[in-house]
Amino acid sequence: MAHEKDLASTFVLITNLMDTEKYPDPKVLKEYKEQHAVEKQFRFLKQPVLLGPIFLKNKNRVEACLSSFNWF
């Protein structure tokens, strides 16, 4: 049962930090888990209300830009 619990609680984190001495696994995981604090502080930047005018030259670019937002 303990082995099954360990398998179910596996956390996969992929990174391009290849220097394992400078960036050991626990440090990378800690940095990742603290990322939410930064995201929370800057969430206002992701709000569509702050989006200013967008000047695009053709209809396809306008549609592509708007489709990148989840609210369209």
Query: Does the pLDDT at position 32 exceed 50?
Result: yes
CA angle at 48 for the pair 47 and 54, rounded to the nearest 5°: 140
Residue 14 confidence (pLDDT): 87
Residue 52 confidence (pLDDT): 61
Residue 72 confidence (pLDDT): 42
Query: What pLDDT, in 10s, does the model give residues 56-72?
Result: 778 887 777 777 665 54
CA angle at 68 for the pair 64 and 71, rounded to the nearest 5°: 115
CA angle at 34 for the pair 9 and 36, rounded to the nearest 5°: 90
